[in-house]
């Protein structure tokens, strides 16, 4: 069993065979543009801020995406070595810009399938705070630095990583920090005043979808016999068609659009979620009592260690 997922066997025969015909993710990529009304999201953000909830447009979009994953488990699948797996976590990678003299950072955020918009907001704020400083040095940065230090051996090292990944032997320590292993990549091009694009998927790793949010667009629409311009948020989405068919993707994106038309739906956790397997790492609600006790002991041990360290500093 892979460190980042479990094989799904109850798959339609056509989709069991598809990865053998389309061996790579780039062979199987499809692209679509999804647009949603900007006014609904913007009005929600303004109203929330009036009520003391400092939320961004990005948070609303990400919360809608997380909720969509909670209802459509096939989105959280991936294909490696012509076999279909279900992710045991929901992790979304995103690039964070640093001050102009520093390189951007690409890391992953981990979400719970039962997250509300408030939970998502807290996680995004913590993620950006951790990654957007010129002094930030994440585990992903460290991984890239190690690879660069290999010099002439880098091509050979990457061949080994690909070999291990294909056979499910890549250590969790690597998949946890690799920006290529996760549920999806999200890029907010609107933050740099750029139009949405169709960003390619990566053959290496497990990312089944790349979502690019671009500048708002004015879309001509017919209303009461007149043509009006409606401001919309565009998303360029590139997806791996080996994990789900077109109808499934279309239904999932329609659900995401529904949440963005009425973001208040995201203020409460979903009544239920749909999953391939109830991995404990997908939600706190799936954790056994044994796991919870183990985590509590670990947290207590860390707290005592921190207290002892602070006490030592005060004594000196």
State the alpha helices, DSSP H only, in 92-237.
117-131, 139-148, 154-166, 172-177
**Residue 172: per-residue pLDDT:** 92
Please tell me the distance from the alpha carbon of residue 247 to that of residue 309, in angstroms, as a whole number.
56
- Give me the count of residues in the chain: 316
**Residue 134: per-residue pLDDT:** 63
**Residue 271: per-residue pLDDT:** 94
Angle at which helix 38-50 crosses helix 246-261, to 10 degrees, equals 40
Please tell me the distance from the alpha carbon of residue 34 to that of residue 41, in angstroms, as a whole number.
15
pTM (2 decimals)? 0.89
**Residues 148, 154 contacting (CB under 8 angstroms):** yes
Core vs surface per residue 61-91: b (16+ CB within 10 A) or e: bbbbbbbbbbbbbbbbbbbbeebbbbbbbbb
CA angle (33, 60, 38) in 5-degree steps? 55
Query: Tens digit of pLDDT per residue, the chain (316 long)?
Result: 789 999 999 898 888 999 999 999 999 999 999 999 999 999 999 999 999 999 999 999 999 999 999 999 999 999 999 999 999 999 999 988 776 656 777 889 999 999 999 999 999 999 988 877 666 677 888 888 888 888 889 899 999 999 999 999 999 999 999 999 999 999 999 988 899 999 999 999 999 999 999 999 998 888 888 898 999 999 999 999 999 999 999 999 999 999 999 999 999 999 999 999 999 889 988 888 888 888 888 888 888 887 777 776 666 6
First to last CA, the chain: 49
The answer for residues whose C-beta is within 8 angstroms of residue 315's C-beta and 6 or more apart is none
> Three-state SS for 1?
coil
**Residue 224: per-residue pLDDT:** 85
> Three-state SS for 220?
strand
Q: Are strands 209-213 and 226-240 parallel, antiparallel or unpaired?
A: antiparallel
Q: Are strands 90-96 and 184-188 parallel, antiparallel or unpaired?
A: parallel
């Amino acid at each position: 069993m892979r460190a980042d997922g479990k094989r799904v066997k109850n798959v339609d025969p056509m989709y069991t065979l598809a990865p053998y015909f389309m061996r790579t993710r780039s062979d199987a990529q499809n692209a679509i543009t999804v647009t949603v009304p900007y006014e609904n999201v913007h009005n929600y953000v303004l109203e929330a801020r009036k009520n003391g909830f400092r939320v961004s447009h990005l948070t609303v979009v990400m919360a809608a995406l997380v909720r969509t994953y909670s209802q459509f488990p096939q989105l959280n699948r991936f294909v490696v070595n012509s076999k279909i797996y279900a992710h045991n976590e929901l992790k979304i990678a995103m690039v964070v810009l640093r001050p102009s003299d520093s390189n951007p950072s690409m890391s992953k955020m981990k979400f719970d399938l039962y997250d509300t918009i408030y939970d998502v907001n807290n996680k995004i704020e913590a993620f950006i705070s951790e990654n957007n400083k010129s002094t930030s040095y994440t585990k992903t940065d460290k991984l890239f630095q190690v690879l660069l230090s290999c010099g002439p051996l880098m091509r050979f090292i990457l061949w080994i990583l690909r070999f291990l990944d294909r056979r499910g032997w890549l250590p969790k320590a690597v998949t946890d920090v690799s920006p290529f292993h996760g549920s999806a990549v999200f890029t907010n091009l609107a933050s740099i005043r750029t139009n949405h694009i169709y960003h390619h998927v990566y053959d290496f790793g497990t990312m089944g979808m790349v979502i690019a949010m671009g500048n708002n667009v004015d879309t001509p629409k017919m209303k009461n016999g007149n043509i009006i311009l409606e401001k919309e948020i565009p998303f360029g989405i590139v997806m791996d068609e080996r994990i789900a068919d077109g109808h499934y993707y279309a239904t999932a994106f329609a659900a995401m659009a529904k949440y963005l038309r009425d973001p208040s739906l995201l203020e409460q956790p979903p009544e239920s979620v749909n999953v391939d397997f109830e991995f404990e790492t997908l939600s706190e609600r799936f954790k056994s009592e044994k796991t919870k006790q183990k985590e509590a002991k670990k947290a207590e041990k860390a707290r005592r260690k921190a207290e002892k360290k602070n006490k030592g500093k005060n004594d000196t």
